[in-house]
Amino acid sequence: MSRRDLIDPECRVPLDALLEVMPGGFNAIPDIVQRRTAVEGMLGAIEVPDNPNVAKEDRTVPGPAGEPDITVRIYRPVGASGTLPGVYYIHGGGMILGSVEGEDPNATMICDQVGAVVVSVEYRLAPEHPHPAPVEDCYAGLVWMAKNAAELGVDPHRLAIYGASAGGGLTIGTALLARDRGGPALSFMMPIYPMIDDRNETPSSHEITDIGIWDRAGNVEAWAWYLGGKQADQYAAPARAVDLSGLPPAFIDVGTVDLFRDEDIAFAQRLMQTGVPTDLHVNPGSYHAAETFAPEAALSRRIWAARIDRLKRALA
């Protein structure tokens, strides 16, 4: 049986449509600039109506010491008064793709449905800016958000960090930096199918070779670009972290047809063994980012409902 046969039927429809127009998926485009253009074009073609319940503002804030400033997009529920919980949002894209704009619909939805101030960070991408530039940008943005909590109307005691795929790996890497540097106190983290292990040794990293969304060859390539020829540390590849104590309570979800399945399950188990309260959701039939490609599928709605519910409870 092909791994493709295990995909949820509703979620498979848009994936098959994508592969018809782009055989091999995005990773089949060798030039990274052209690949980014293709991804942005596809995301831009998805019409998402403006949400009148959410106000947005882009702002330039200090980057890491000695490095360029970074851009953040701030989302706030319209008409909300008083202090709200905060969600620091890190976009995905394998450390080489993605943008704040591309994940604007998801950040908007979290702001609206959770009732939180969301700050989404535009970090530098590899291969032009290999590790540690992306995670240091993410950490700088988090420090800015925490320092400016009063102005943002954010309760610093109800601050969560969220990211999917590369954003999930950066979520954990940023949380590790915050722990090790005595930085902002995080009350919760939600790394979604996080990209956390550069070694590519798990069974699932060998199984997922022809799904068309983040297959093995593309993951190996992305890690090589991200690391820039250097050895990975725990902030680049959190699966390498020896000590997971002191991290915030976590929610991790991943699909059974996702290359990151086994590294994410193993990481969640280690969090539990360390005593970190951890929700682990393994979604049968879900491939990498299926809920983004097939948002109307029943499986996708269940995935998002579980995330939103858990964020609400964590930040109550």
Which CATH superfamily groups domain 3-315?
Alpha/Beta hydrolase fold, catalytic domain (3.40.50.1820)
Q: Is residue 316 exposed (0-12), middle (13-18) or buried (19+ Cβ within 10 Å)?
A: exposed
pLDDT at 41: 79
Enter the tokens of residue 182: 């005595």
Active-site entry in 8, 253, 288, 300: 288
User: Cα separation of 278 and 271, whole Å?
Assistant: 7
Among 102, 103, 101, 92, smallest CA distance to 125 is for 92
91 is an active site residue: no
Q: Which residues of 151-189 are buried (b: 16+ CB within 10 A; e: fewer)?
A: ebebbbebbbbbbbbbbbbbbbbbbbbbbeeeebebbbb
165 is an active site residue: yes
User: Cα separation of 216 and 219, whole Å?
Assistant: 5
pLDDT at 45: 67
pLDDT at 88: 98
User: Cα separation of 294 and 276, whole Å?
Assistant: 32
198 is an active site residue: no
Active-site entry in 137, 253, 258, 262: 258
pTM: 0.97
Show me where the domains of the chain are located.
3-315
User: Cα separation of 117 and 53, whole Å?
Assistant: 12
User: Cα separation of 261 and 197, whole Å?
Assistant: 11
- pLDDT block averages, 10 residues each, the chain of length 316: 90 91 83 86 74 97 98 96 96 96 95 98 98 98 98 97 98 98 98 98 96 94 96 98 98 98 98 98 97 95 98 97
pLDDT at 46: 67
CB–CB of 244/274 below 8 Å?
yes
Active-site entry in 165, 204, 205, 300: 165
Write the CB contacts of 20 (distance below 8 Å, at least 6 apart in sequence): none
